[in-house]
Chain A
Amino acid sequence: MKITLNGELKECPDGITVEKLLDLYKIDKNRTAVELNLQVVPRKEHSSRILKEADVLEVITFVGGG
């Protein structure tokens, strides 16, 4: 299935969880937060939340700023 990850269309296995998707793209889970279709996904739900076709996922972290 196809999802949008940080603005890019990505292919991933059907029924993948948020956690597995982060692993698939080797995203460090430390100091990151995930938003699914504009709703924050609490960290404790990463392993149970299943993604579906056309979901829009944003994964954020921190960079230098003032």
Chain B
Amino acid sequence: MLAVDKIVKNIEDKKLKVGRYEFTSRLFVGTGKYSSMEIMVDALEASGTDVVTVAVRRVKINETTSLFDYIDTKKYKILPNTAGCYSADEAIRTAHLARETGISDMIKLEVLGNEKTLLPDPVETLKATQILVKEGFTVLVYTSDDPIIAKKLEDAGAASVMPAGAPIGSGQGILNKNNIRIILESAKVPILVDAGVGTASDVTIAMELGCDGVLLNSGIALAKDPVRMAKAMKLACESGRLAFLSGRIPKKLYAKASSPEKDF
């Protein structure tokens, strides 16, 4: 028997747990901004995700098609968001309506403070988190990359804290790795980078830092080829996660040869 045959190391990852929900994929994918429903369906498939975000909006009277004609709720968990809310009250109202549909008690809480920057309002976000947690929601909360507010949201009972890598839809990647690292250092709930991802390496960087997952939408939906980009994001997420679990080598100033020194 060859020595190699005895080496079978199990490198399977544990599932991501957020509250009482379990996810196989660590990539959360949005359902907005695709050029067609067909492309969205293929992109979601290629991304390997098992949870998709959706927005709450008024029913259009006389509209015959529904988002759920295209999203198989047996295959994907649904994470409704409170996008477009600018106060705790508005976000809470939206969360109540989302839960009443019977789709989930998960909510991606997003309370914005400014229409141009789409940066979160930390005060209103914290207030809404406290109330929704008391009401039994599984709150996944979008926040800035500020470690102090991230901690306060965790202490308020958020099931996951989701700092922005960069402003929503900006595609700038992870702008402040140090802040993300500080958030990760003391977090006891899953930390997902939500927003700002532009390309695959951004996802990898987030995962290599030790984030538990990444939530993205525009990076896939607005790519020239969303389906191919979805696959790239999936691989990037898996690569980053594996690299994080593996433990990278330290960065050194000088070279260190990989081959033994010549001894003949």
Interface residues, chain A, with chain B CB atoms under 8 Å away = 5-8, 25-28, 30-35, 38, 40, 42-43, 58-66
Contact = CB atoms under 8 A, between A and B. Distances in A.
B223 interface: no
B128 to A, nearest CB: 16
A25 B64 CA distance: 12
A46 to B, nearest CB: 11
B66 A61 contact: yes
Contact of A65 (B54, B58, B66, B68): B54
B76 to A, nearest CB: 12
B93 interface: yes
Given A65-B53, A65-B81, A27 B61 contact: yes
Main secondary structure of the interface of B (DSSP, over half): mixed
Nearest to B67: A62
B55 A65 contact: yes
Contacts of A30: 66, 68
Contacts of B80: 62
B30 interface: yes
Given A63-B67, A65-B81, A66-B218, A27 B59 contact: yes
Contact of B67 (A5, A6, A64): A64
B78 A66 contact: no
A58 B57 CA distance: 10
Contacts of A62: 54-57, 66-68, 78, 80, 98, 101, 103
Contacts of B195: 66
B177 interface: no
B33 A66 contact: yes
Given A33-B100, A58-B58, A61-B66, 13 more contacts: A5-B61, A28-B59, A30-B66, A31-B66, A33-B97, A40-B97, A43-B100, A58-B97, A63-B32, A64-B55, A65-B31, A66-B169, A66-B195
Contacts of A28: 59, 66
A26 B53 CA distance: 26
Contacts of A7: 58
B243 interface: no
Interface string B34-69: 100000100000000000011111110110001110
